[in-house]
Amino acid sequence: MRWTLKPKPQASKVEELKAALKVDDTVATLLLQRDIDTYDAAKKFFRPSFEDLHDPYLMKDMDKAVARIERAITAGENVMVYGDYDVDGTTSVALMSTYLKTRIDSIATYIPDRYDEGYGVSYKGIDFADDNGFSLIIALDCGIKAIDKVAYANEKGIDFIICDHHRPGAEIPDAVAVLDPKREDCEYPFKELCGCGVGFKLITALAANQGQTAEDLTEYLDLVATAVGADIVPIVDENRALAYLGLQVINTNPRPGMKAIINLVKKDILTITDVVFTIAPRINAAGRMKHGNYAVRLLSETDFNLAETYALEIEAYNSDRRETDKRITEEALVQIEDNKEQEGFTTVVYDESWHKGVIGIVASRLIETYYRPTLVFTKSGDKLAASARSVKGFDVYNALEACSEHIEQFGGHKYAAGLTLDPKNYEAFKAKFESVVKETIDPKLLMEELKIDLDIELGEINDKLMRILKQFAPFGPGNMSPTFMSQNIKDTGWGKCVGEDDKHIRLTATQSFNDKIVCIGFGLGDKIDIINSKRPFSAAYSIDENHWNGTVSLQLKLKDIKV
């Protein structure tokens, strides 16, 4: 890992903030590194509220979307709520459909089949709407590039409202309304909403017509917080408020489907990290292994007993997903090792038998090993489909755009995207992708960067600091959990490898006689020689709580160690 110590703020600013907030150097520095430099900014950071949410009508086309839905409600039209099959899409559909059902009876949901229809708006979905008398489709977490599909719906007399957050192409679909803060002509003050976040803004605007506020829609925020976490959007500004408020719902009064999943996880208080690594994978598993409809059904269910049954189904899908992605990851790693002579600036692997539902997970796992922009391909009908994942600092979406001559369809974000192409174009695309990345990436990005907030002494770590650090949550892009480093550490003599195949290390660290603290380093088993050498070393870590037999103690979660 490439350690990078963040620059320290000006000493005068640290002193000013310390005095205003009555905190120490460490806390003041951490806040200034997050651009929090006043009492009011700190209050907003530590106590997010509904007041932090922007007026939904600042989003372009919001007035058109609301007017069209109100007309549908008044006329009793049949409305279809359409969304992608991942967490952001299924939570969006559950949110929009359950809200609309409070105002109109004729609401149906539609999730495209990952294997039959693929990502986004499909002709099959539009045909279904046409055959069943739906005159309005509200598409969530997709649709911003559905130029031809929306035109096809228009020919059939079906109106479209698009709620998306992906980057638009050169042309915007000819829909009644296109809500997407990333539109160049949209002046909405926050550009990083997830799809479910855009959906929440739409129901907030609809509720305003009924004399309600966003606070009256609190019950929907467990869905929004789950999508914010799962879609890895920056947890700053409006997303921080949505995640913070949504976590309160998750931990106090979640909807039956969410509660049924939480009961399976068996954890009392969930953080955004728990949502990302325990709740989201289960919701995702439905679309990966079976069909996204199962996730929508669970998240929309009002009867807890039924929700428990649906959650058990999804738990089985998740177990299947875990086994499948583990097997495919192992096969992909073998494929890479067998072609080591072709190693370059990218990792591109393909097997026609690989399960399309887990190739995105596999791509992420390969980056953990090789740390390169990565594509995992499989066969999808008569096409090849791939999931792309990138390393920090490199825009894989732009790289794919530069290869568009070989691609039939692609979409996504800076760090995650999907594409399809004709099998005959695979080798040409692969060569072009390698060439584009080689020409555009800064080579230092191919070594994982570990950003360190502060260099501190072990003696500074105490319960008071931990209490304040917990209030920095929810953590995520734009507000990562603080990473510290300490130098000239020694093991007290009990350091050892632990876990399956000795993958992890556990030790008690000290800098002086009075500052011993337990450390756990997951995946750092190969560093045991540094520990056992009895030489001083430096450690990069986050501060964590260890809960054991009813007692809570501080520990360091090691991220890396160096002599």
State pLDDT tens for residues 358-404: 999 999 999 999 999 999 999 988 999 999 999 999 999 999 999 99
Coil/strand/helix, residue 417: strand
In a domain, 50, yes or no: no
Does residue 521 carry a pLDDT above 90? Answer: yes
Q: For position 266, what pLDDT does the model report?
A: 83
Residue 23 lies in a domain: no
Residue 512 has pLDDT above 90, yes or no: no
Amino acid at 172: I
The verdict on 304 and 184 lying in the same domain is yes
In this structure, the answer to whether residues 61 and 146 fall within a common structural domain is: yes
Domain boundary residue, one of 414, 446, 478? 446
Share above pLDDT 90 across residues of the chain, in percent, rounded to a whole number: 86
**Same domain flag for 375 and 279:** no
Rounded Cα distance between 173 and 505, Å, is 54
The answer to whether residue 172 scores a pLDDT higher than 80 is: yes
- Tokens read off for 68: 């069209």
Q: Is the pLDDT of residue 342 over 80?
A: no
Contact yes or no for 106/77 (Cβ under 8 A): yes
Q: Which two tokens stand for residue 261?
A: 């999943």
pLDDT at 67: 97
Structural domain for 440, as ranges: 339-446
pLDDT value at residue 94: 97
Which residues make Cβ contacts (< 8 Å) with residue 204, sequence separation at least 6? 53, 56, 213, 214, 217
Backbone angles phi, psi at 225, to 5 degrees: -60, -40
On whether both 247 and 359 belong to a single domain, the answer is no
Establish if 121 belongs to a structural domain.
yes
Summarised one tens digit per residue, pLDDT across range 249-307 is 999 999 999 999 999 988 888 999 999 999 999 999 998 888 999 999 999 999 999 99
Estimate to the nearest angstrom the gap between the alpha carbon of 221 and the chain centroid. Answer: 16
Give the long-range contacts of residues 393-399, CB within 8 A, separation 24 or more: 393/442, 393/445, 393/449, 394/437, 394/440, 394/441, 394/442, 394/445, 397/167, 398/440, 399/373, 399/433, 399/436, 399/437, 399/440
**Residue 340 confidence (pLDDT) above 80:** no
Mean pLDDT confidence for 167-171: 90
Domain match, 515 and 420 both: no
Number of domains making up the chain? 3
Distances 106 to 74, 349, 391 between C-alpha atoms, Å: 12, 45, 45
pTM: 0.90
Alpha helices in 156-255 (DSSP H): 195-208, 221-230, 237-252
Residues 115 and 176 in one domain: yes
Q: Kindly give the interhelix angle for 237-252 and 221-230, rounded to the nearest 10 degrees.
A: 120
Quickly state the pLDDT bin for 331 (edges 50, 70, 90): very high
Do 194 and 275 lie in a common domain? Answer: yes
269: CATH: 3.90.1640.30
CATH of residue 355: 3.10.310.30
Please give the structure tokens belonging to residue 77: 């039209």
Residue-wise DSSP of 168-187: P-SS----SEEE-TTSTT--
Question: Do 293 and 187 belong to one domain?
Answer: yes
Report which of 344, 444, 461 is spatially closest to residue 391, judged by C-alpha positions.
Answer: 444
**Shared-domain flag, residues 478 and 345:** no
Statement to judge: residues 472 and 440 lie in one domain = no
**Domain ends where: 300, 315, 330?**
315
> Model confidence at 116, in pLDDT bands (50, 70, 90)?
confident
Q: Is the dihedral angle over the CA atoms 85, 87, 90, 96 positive or is it negative?
A: negative
pLDDT at 158 over 70: yes
**Position 527 in a domain:** yes
pLDDT, average across residues 425-437 = 96
Q: Measuring CA to CA, how many Å separate 544 from each of 195, 218, 295, 481, 524?
A: 32, 30, 32, 10, 17
User: Does residue 322 lie within any of the structural domains?
Assistant: no
Check if the beta carbon of residue 503 is closer than 8 Å to that of residue 449.
no
Which residue type does 426 have? Y
Statement: residue 499 has pLDDT above 80? yes
H or E stretch at 383 = strand 383-389
Question: The domain that contains 504 carries what CATH number?
Answer: 2.40.50.460
**Strand ordering across the sheet containing 374-380:** 347-350, 374-380, 383-389, 416-421, 409-412
Residue 327 resides in a domain? no
Whether residue 136 sits in one domain with residue 159: yes
Q: Are 477 and 228 in contact (CB under 8 A)?
A: no
Can you tell me the distance from the alpha carbon of 70 to that of 73, in angstroms, rounded to the nearest whole number? 5
CA–CA separation, 161 and 146 (whole Å): 12
Q: Is the dihedral of CA 457, 463, 469, 475 positive or negative?
A: positive
The reply to whether omega before 474 is within 30° of 0 (cis) is yes
Which domain-ending residue is among 380, 415, 446? 446
Q: Are residues 106 and 207 in the same domain?
A: yes
Identify whether the C-beta of residue 199 lies closer than 8 Å to the C-beta of residue 95.
Answer: yes
Query: Is residue 253 domain-resident?
Result: yes
Would 32 be classed as within a structural domain? no
Which pLDDT does position 513 carry in this prediction? 65
Q: State the chain's mean pLDDT as an integer.
A: 94
pLDDT at 223 over 80: yes
Output the pLDDT for position 504. Answer: 95
When pLDDT is cut at 50, 70 and 90, the band that residue 341 belongs to is low
Within 413-493, strands assigned E span 416-421, 449-452, 454-455, 484-491
